[in-house]
Amino acid sequence: MIDVLSGFFVVWAIIGVGWFVGKRGILGPNAGHTLSRLAFFVASPALLFETLSKARLEDVLGPQLAVAAIGGTTVGISYVLLSKFVLKRKMPEAIIGAMSASQANSANLGIPIAVYVLGDASYVAPLLIFQLAFYNPVNLMILDATHGSRSAKQNPLLKFLLIILKNPVIVASGLALLFSALHLQLPDPVLQPIHFIGGAAVPAMLMSFGMSLNGNRPFSAASGRRTDIVLASSFKLVLHPVLAFLAAHFILGLSGHALFAATIAGALPTAQNVFVAANRYQRGITIAKDTVLITTIVAMPAMIGIAAFLH
């Protein structure tokens, strides 16, 4: 338990530094955005390639992937039904709310948590693969279809593939799993630059994450969406990890550290790219923004509670 708390302390300390740097404007107004893009497009693919190329395929594509699929899909569908038939929201807004309730921050916070708390970045890879290769593309296609976007007229299969192939994290993960399956290794002069670039991923993610916490205040009365925000936040912080625990333990038979990893992955806060999607489609913007902020703040204490319960 001390090791777990030490891991959370490291994560919060780096987030705190990022918050302070952003608050003081030390790196300029766009530093957080630049750091986030550096982490996502350059450093994270390098880190995941190095990690997954050494991992066993059955660990990455096994029970943890099934837990991610069961938890995320169940939470998302449940939210859509409540939003559509109880709150009477239109489908695009219901989809944004469902993404807020079920799509975890598997990169910017998931990878650091996996490294510092779980001890291995590969623990978050199944969640990354499920969300980036399947869940997010499907949600974006539904948004296109229900929003009346011009891109909805494109071939759905081609659009699905393009979303995946344009994602550097998925491409790097796919190549790494291919190397793992074929038992291939890069020569050391090639692997060393990848190792050093990947080393920038975690601090860059956490620093940019801390910077993003400045200047945000949730629960604006004028939005008229407080119920949606509370529902989405509760689903993400309570229902999602509970479902992850139940699926992992009682359906897939996981226990010990594997069960802890699956439950922690379910408790990760809402992904920031949900807010990007909300802006893109101009639907559910307040729900996405406030849920990201609330779950980000509350997720750490929730995960410490999970650690205390399971240990």
Nearest alpha carbon to residue 96 among 12, 106, 117, 87: 87
Q: What is the pLDDT of residue 216?
A: 65
Q: What is the pLDDT of residue 220?
A: 67
Output 261 or 158, whichever has higher pLDDT.
261
Q: What is the pLDDT of residue 224?
A: 78
Spatial distance between the Cα atoms of 296 and 170, rounded to a whole number of angstroms: 24
The stretch 95-99 carries a mean pLDDT of 96
Residues 6+ apart with CB under 8 A from 244: 67, 68, 70, 71, 262, 263, 265, 266, 267
Structural domains of the chain, ranges and CATH numbers in brackets: 2-310 (1.20.1530)
Q: Do residues 176 and 125 touch, judged by C-beta distance below 8 A?
A: no
The stretch 196-225 carries a mean pLDDT of 79
Highest mean pLDDT among 223-237, 238-252, 267-281, 291-305: 238-252
Lowest mean pLDDT among 83-92, 143-152, 160-169: 143-152
Q: Do residues 248 and 259 touch, judged by C-beta distance below 8 A?
A: yes
pLDDT at residue 167 above 80?
Answer: no
In this prediction, residue 4 has a pLDDT band, given cuts at 50, 70 and 90, of: low
pLDDT digits (tens, 9 = 90+) for 68-83: 999 999 999 999 999 9
Spatial distance between the Cα atoms of 170 and 132, rounded to a whole number of angstroms: 7
- As a whole-number percent, the residues of the chain with pLDDT over 90 amount to 35
Q: What is the pLDDT of residue 152?
A: 54
Q: What is the pLDDT of residue 280?
A: 79
Spatial distance between the Cα atoms of 95 and 147, rounded to a whole number of angstroms: 11
Output 125 or 215, whichever has higher pLDDT.
125
| Type of residue numbered 103 | Q
Q: What is the pLDDT of residue 3?
A: 63
| Residue 269 DSSP one-character state | P
Q: What is the pLDDT of residue 154?
A: 62
